[in-house]
Amino acid sequence: MLATTGWTAVRGHRPAADAKTAALTAWLHGSIGGRPLPSAQEEPAALARFFASLTGGQRDTLARRYPLVVGNLAGAPVALRYRANHLALEAARSTEERRTHDGSLTAAGRYEASRRMHRFDSLLGDGRQILSFDPQGSGRVAEVIGDLDTADRVSVIVPGVDTNLLTFEKSQRAYSAPVGMARSLYAAERKAAPGTRTAVIAWADYTSPVGVGMGAATGRLATEGALRLRKLVRALPGTAPVSLFCHSYGSVVCGVAARELSPRVTDVAVAGSPGMRADHASELGTGARIWAMRDPDDWIQGVPHLEVGGLGHGADPVSKDFGARVLSADGAQGHAGYFAPGTTSLDNFAEIGVGTVASLRCARDAGDCLDGLPPADAPPAA
């Protein structure tokens, strides 16, 4: 099974740093205004109440003292997380710059430090809104395009294998990386519904599998990622409907997460999926609509869609027996092209993102994938 996948590996991960652990330890023993700080693992609603009880100055003090903690706290105000992560990125950049001159490192180690430093430079650019950032190991990060606090609709992109800090954005094949996917989807949503305020999250805040291996063939990392994805959704500000766009192994994460998703999630769309760890859409246990697409040239179709002894991810989401609403992916060109501008796949994603599902284009052999849909302006299911 693994030999047929064709997933390419990105190897040479940097050993895990201890900056995050040190920050969490300091937070555990910290206080503000004579009050102990809540557990960093507290539920988003409780953390939101804690930060609401603080003055603006106290919130800023915590962001300066504990940027690696505050920047990743689900429930902390979004703008505060952006500021904290900017500080954390500045510190991480300085660390990598020192490593580029460290004579005790190999040439390969110094080169990797240089790559990470330049990635942090990019993430520190004007207007970047970094919702989460963890420099440990190969790293995790999430970025918001648009105004999350005032959005009428929120879209979350969940990417697949080989996603880390260094692959979070790409100058070539930009739309195959989370940032390029998010920017492309945001632009398409604005075009589809200019009057709808949207926000798109490029969510690489889980540990994805590295290329071909047991990690990609099993659900262990998907289970861990699903916990983080559910928490992200619970922590989103406001009450805007949420759509998940799950690519490749990201669809495994979404499939596992679906069983306990917030009712704010109205739609889950998967592209190039190896399976959602279910034999039928009804087994996902969610009231969200399930959409699926696959380009005819996508090599993922050669992956066995089964689950045996923990290996594999279940039925093919675009098969008639699975029960998803199958959409056209015309123009996507292979496994990594679903978010490229000018493709039907991106147009379909945008229509889902803004809630105008009546305009979707079904796959040619899928019948009417819009049968039984409520009106486009119907409220989300409770």
pLDDT digits (tens, 9 = 90+) for 184-220: 999 999 999 999 999 999 999 999 988 755 666 676 7
d(CA 99, CA 115): 11
- Beta-carbon contacts of residue 118 (< 8 Å; ≥ 6 apart): none
**What is the pLDDT, as a whole number, of residue 368?**
82
Contact 370, 325 (CB under 8 A): yes
258: which DSSP letter? G
- Beta-carbon contacts of residue 31 (< 8 Å; ≥ 6 apart): 37
What's the angle, vertex CA 256, arms to CA 130 and CA 128, rounded to 5?
10
Q: What is the mean pLDDT of the chain?
A: 90
Q: Is 54 domain-assigned?
A: yes
Q: Is 304 domain-assigned?
A: yes
Asked if residue 346 and residue 208 are part of one domain, the reply reads yes
Asked if residue 217 and residue 97 are part of one domain, the reply reads no
Q: Residue 249's domain is classified under what CATH number?
A: 3.40.50.1820
Mean pLDDT (whole number) for 135-152: 96
Asked if residue 176 and residue 97 are part of one domain, the reply reads no
User: Is pLDDT of 261 > 80?
Assistant: yes
More confident residue, 173 or 12: 173
- Beta-carbon contacts of residue 173 (< 8 Å; ≥ 6 apart): 180, 336
Q: Is 368 domain-assigned?
A: no
**What is the pLDDT, as a whole number, of residue 283?**
95
Q: Is 51 domain-assigned?
A: yes
Amino acid sitting at position 89: L
User: Is pLDDT of 9 > 70?
Assistant: no
Mean pLDDT (whole number) for 9-37: 77
Expressed as residue numbers, the domain containing 333 is: 138-359
pTM of the model: 0.91
d(CA 251, CA 276): 6
339: which DSSP letter? T
d(CA 179, CA 339): 11
Q: Is 276 domain-assigned?
A: yes
Residue 302, classed as helix, strand or coil, is helix
For residue 378, with 0-12 CB atoms within 10 Å meaning exposed, 13-18 middle and 19 or more buried, which class applies?
Answer: exposed
Asked if residue 282 and residue 182 are part of one domain, the reply reads yes
d(CA 162, CA 168): 9
Question: Which range, of 4-13, 139-148, 341-350, averages the lowest pLDDT?
Answer: 4-13
Asked if residue 174 and residue 67 are part of one domain, the reply reads no
Asked if residue 57 and residue 180 are part of one domain, the reply reads no
d(CA 334, CA 295): 6
User: Is pLDDT of 7 > 50?
Assistant: no
Domain count, the chain: 2
pLDDT band at 242; cut points 50, 70, 90: very high
Give the end of a domain, one of 50, 85, 116: 116
Give the end of a domain, one of 83, 116, 149: 116
Q: Is 147 domain-assigned?
A: yes
Asked if residue 310 and residue 272 are part of one domain, the reply reads yes
**CA distance readout (Å), 201 to 40, 55, 157, 181, 238:** 22, 28, 6, 10, 15
Give the end of a domain, one of 52, 81, 116: 116
Mean pLDDT (whole number) for 250-266: 96
- Beta-carbon contacts of residue 228 (< 8 Å; ≥ 6 apart): 205, 206
CB atoms within 10 A of CB 18: 10
Q: Is 273 domain-assigned?
A: yes
Asked if residue 183 and residue 102 are part of one domain, the reply reads no
**Could you tell me the two tokens for 15?**
């050993």
Q: Is 376 domain-assigned?
A: no
More confident residue, 215 or 60: 60
pLDDT band at 15; cut points 50, 70, 90: very low
Asked if residue 280 and residue 335 are part of one domain, the reply reads yes
**What is the pLDDT, as a whole number, of residue 214?**
60
Asked if residue 246 and residue 206 are part of one domain, the reply reads yes
Residues of the chain with pLDDT > 90, as a percent, come to 81
pLDDT band at 375; cut points 50, 70, 90: low
**What is the pLDDT, as a whole number, of residue 301?**
87
Sheet holding 130-134, edge to edge: 130-134, 140-146, 198-204, 153-158, 242-247, 265-271, 289-293, 325-326
Asked if residue 182 and residue 92 are part of one domain, the reply reads no
**CA distance readout (Å), 343 to 31, 328, 331, 348, 350:** 52, 10, 5, 9, 11
Strand 242-247 relative to strand 153-158, pairing: parallel
Asked if residue 240 and residue 150 are part of one domain, the reply reads yes
